[in-house]
A and B are shown apart, each in its own frame.
Chain A
Amino acid sequence: MRIGVTIFPGSNCDRDALYGVERMGAEAVELWHADANLKGVDAVIVPGGFSYGDYLRPGAIARFAKVMAPLEEFAKDGGPVLGVCNGFQVLTEAHLLPGALLRNTHMRFVCDRVRVRVEATDTPWTSGCDPGEELTLPVAHNEGNYFADPDTLEQLEDEGRVVLRYLRNPNGSANDIAGVCSEGRNVVGIMPHPERVSDPALGSDEGLRILRSVLVGAGV
């Protein structure tokens, strides 16, 4: 399986995401922000960082990058897309996912490891997890406070589109939401960084439970 990782100016988890793809046993493909196609990849990860310096709003400028047009097509055709941290922010700005990510309520950047529960296993990025499985994953963000209007929140809950939920909320997110998926369930955005725990040398490879799901789903 070939998995693309988009690289915007200011992405800083791109190398980590490429490494994570290697760890999960897939082929990593760099997708430069100015590329006009996705090089025929089977899935795409939009990594974390500070694309375009987070100027204006996190993700607000990246969504207009050239690579986003084929990415949006890919997503609409049901291709698996995972946005991590800044990648989640980019996907909400691009309206591939509902809601927005506001500043953490305590107004501080938070870098920590948090417990999350897998709430939905019928997405390409969680299909390898057990329902209700708990994972310890790193977070590192300034704007991870998930926000959506009450109707949208209700809809997300009703349709089982909350993918990950914090056991202890680190940023003030509505309904303790750590990740959501699109209506078609193929686009997933999460604040925690699975690629940062993809190697036992770093104390844990629980992140591979998420990343490898896309292989499981594809029957690889």
Chain B
Amino acid sequence: MGRAPNFLELSLFSVMWSEHCGYKNSRPLLGRFPNQGARVVQGPGENAGVVEVGDGWALAFKMESHNHPSAVEPYEGAATGVGGIIRDILAMGARPVALFDSLRFGPLDEERSRYLFREVVCGIGGYGNAVGVPTVGGEVEFASAYSGNPLVNAMCVGLIRTEDLVRSSATGEGNLVVLLGSKTGRDGIHGATFASDELTEESESRRSNVQVGDPFCEKMLIECCLKLLDEGLLVSLQDLGAAGITSSASEMAAKGGVGIEIETDKVPLRESGMEPTEVMISESQERMLAVVEPEKADEVLRLAERYELVGTVVGRVAGHGDLRVIHQGEVVGSVPAEHLADAPVYERDIVRPWYLDAVRELDLGELPEPEDYNAVLLKMLGHPNLRSRRPIFTQYDHQVGTDTVVLPGADAAVMRIKDTKLGFAATTDGRGRHCYLDPRGGGAATVAEAYRNLSCVGAEPVAVTDCLNFGSPEKPDGYYQLAECIEGMSEACEVFGTPVVSGNVSLYNETDRGAIYPTPTVGMVGFLGDVDRHATPAFKREGDMVVVIGKIPSLAGEPGPSEGDLLAGSEYLEIIHGKVAGLPRRSNLLAEKEVADLVRELVSSGLVDTAHDISGGGEAVALAEMAIDGGIGFDYDGEVEIGELRREMRADVVLFGETNPDFIVAVPRERWDDLQDALAGFAYDLIGTTGGDRFRIGDLIEVKLSYLEEEYERDLFEQYAPEGGHIG
């Protein structure tokens, strides 16, 4: 700049060069992600990634974290996380049509964790239900690594005609800058810097850094912006998120290679006495910034009023290239926009942490084999990590919009695109424990799990958004985990052909008790050419033949994995033996893709309508879920056609091992021959038949289905139903 910046200018740099906005630690690593693909319409760098799904339709989607706000003010933190991600999608010109949430909390026996869990779910529902975008999927896990630093990641998917996409670059000197939506207040000031710091005792006192949401206003903002775009009244559009007007205006200016002047005294305020600096960095919610040609401004403001929104001309596009702040006619700050958008980059050394050697030791010989497998299965199904998510998703309106084809609880949500045969599916997945034990393998496994989930419902996976939740990058462990997870995810995305088209980074997820598990969360979208041809896990009929497809090691001609490899990092080890240990087997990604693609073919060809992947809890839990969901029992005859691999192993490894990425499908007897033909060349086992009211696996497990259901459906919020709670 050639001079010392004043206080206002320093504040602009402070928020824009935070990790949250500037990605100064993560940027060098993020370049590793593949981001090209035949269906990619918009890769990273815009408000959301966009991919084509056919017939001129495209999906805009992105995931974002709201971890720190949710740690200190869980209801509003989660609510505004939902609101923020919806506006990212809206800024692309797309109608938001589906929401997902990926959540992590400490164990439910901690009062604080129960409080955070309950309030976050209330906040997501309170906002999402009112704004009228269905919350159709997501996931949650509980582990002490997240005590005090919960993760709240929200993903939104929007639908748009490819030709209607809008971008955020400001153009046209003399064009006007219009602020739409709520008035600006002092809430959320320095939210971006707060999000880029570790959580301490003091964080509690930073509640004022947390924004407050108004879903009613957001609903009007959605309808208004879509109307304005429909009428062709906007040059460009940008949401206001972290760092408020500063971030939006400087990014719009930098992308367009122009300057933007903002008159802070024109900004409608919620409270009096706000300084220009506060106006510039306020993170008040439900606001959008639009560039408008002067002759269209009146019509824009008129429509805003119709939707009961505040619409105000607050500035103009200028030729000078600066973000210039004007207050009562005087320039009070002026900084080149491209400087603000170009935070410095910190390159750090990647050093392998010592803990990895210690946690990987796992001697199965020390672990007694259970005597009562009925009790083990019941205990696992009743554990909060595996229990039914029904008590959560019934608090979210998942049907508004009349497009939800597969309701929550399946491997992925399936939505239709009205007036076409097309559908799309989406899932969010994270494997924190796995990434902790093996950051690279876990990163790859996270992508693989999303790929499998989409394949199970019959969708062809297209692209990925991610949210990288990690500890401090300034500590060697955190930086190593970040770098290695990105490497693993990138390898998997390359093999699967699913580029990363948008994403978000949340670092500094630490408290005085240490860092969270490294938890990259993956949101993956796919499409269905015929949405009627989809599958769900629930058993559909009595007498169906149940088949496990996969056993990838033997397929690839490699030596089989050891028993320890199969149980490493499993739910079983943690729930039953209290251990988080071992080196989970790294899967052969190419072979895994082949099997997943086969399963998708089975579904999309109409042969199979019942499919589920084996993941948390292993084969026994996957089968139990299918039986409970369908209300139909299962008989697993361990003597019939069970492969060699299975017989040679400890029973707990076969039942609960989860790093062998197999699938389970069920077909009526009359389709058995067709299925066998389709499976030619692949490894599979016929493991049993559906029917009755009991769940039986050989001579190991035999339980009444209703007992399983009772454990599985236990209320995750039991003993602590919200008193009072929130309206909404």
Binding site for B on A (CB under 8 A): 9-10, 12-13, 15-16, 19-20, 48-50, 52-55, 103, 106-112, 138, 140, 142, 193, 195-196, 198-199, 201-203
Contact = CB atoms under 8 A, between A and B. Distances in A.
Given A9-B220, A142-B728, A53 B402 contact: no
Contact of A199 (B216, B217, B308, B402): B402
Interface stretch (B393-401, B439-447, B570-578): B393-401
Given A196-B399, A199-B402, A9 B721 contact: no
B230 to A, nearest CB: 14
Nearest to B722: A107
B14 to A, nearest CB: 34
Interface in B127-147: 129-132
A54 B214 CA distance: 11
Interface in B399-429: 399-405, 416, 418
Interface residues of B, number: 39
A111 B396 contact: yes
B671 to A, nearest CB: 22
Given A50-B216, A53-B215, A109 B402 contact: no
Contact of A54 (B130, B132, B721): B130
Contacts of A55: 216
Interface string B353-396: 00000000000000000000000000000000000000001111
Interface of B: 125-126, 129-132, 214-217, 219-220, 307-308, 393-405, 416, 418, 531-532, 717, 721-725, 727-728
B402 A16 contact: yes
A147 to B, nearest CB: 17
A111 B405 contact: no
Contacts of B395: 108-111
Contact of A12 (B132, B217, B725): B132
B425 to A, nearest CB: 15
A13 B130 contact: no
Main secondary structure of the interface of B (DSSP, over half): loop
Contacts of B307: 9
A140 B129 contact: yes
B397 A53 contact: no
A111 B394 contact: yes
Contact of B129 (A16, A50, A196): A50
A201 B406 CA distance: 10
Given A50-B215, A52-B216, A140-B129, A12 B402 contact: no
Contacts of B398: 111
Given A108-B394, A109-B396, A112-B394, 11 more contacts: A12-B400, A15-B401, A16-B402, A20-B402, A108-B721, A111-B129, A111-B394, A111-B396, A142-B727, A195-B402, A202-B405
Contacts of A15: 401
B405 A203 contact: yes
9 contacts: A12-B131, A48-B400, A54-B130, A54-B728, A103-B727, A107-B725, A108-B721, A111-B399, A142-B728
Contacts of A202: 402-405, 416
A16 B11 CA distance: 45
Given A9-B220, A201-B416, A54 B727 contact: yes
A112 B398 CA distance: 9
Contacts of A103: 727
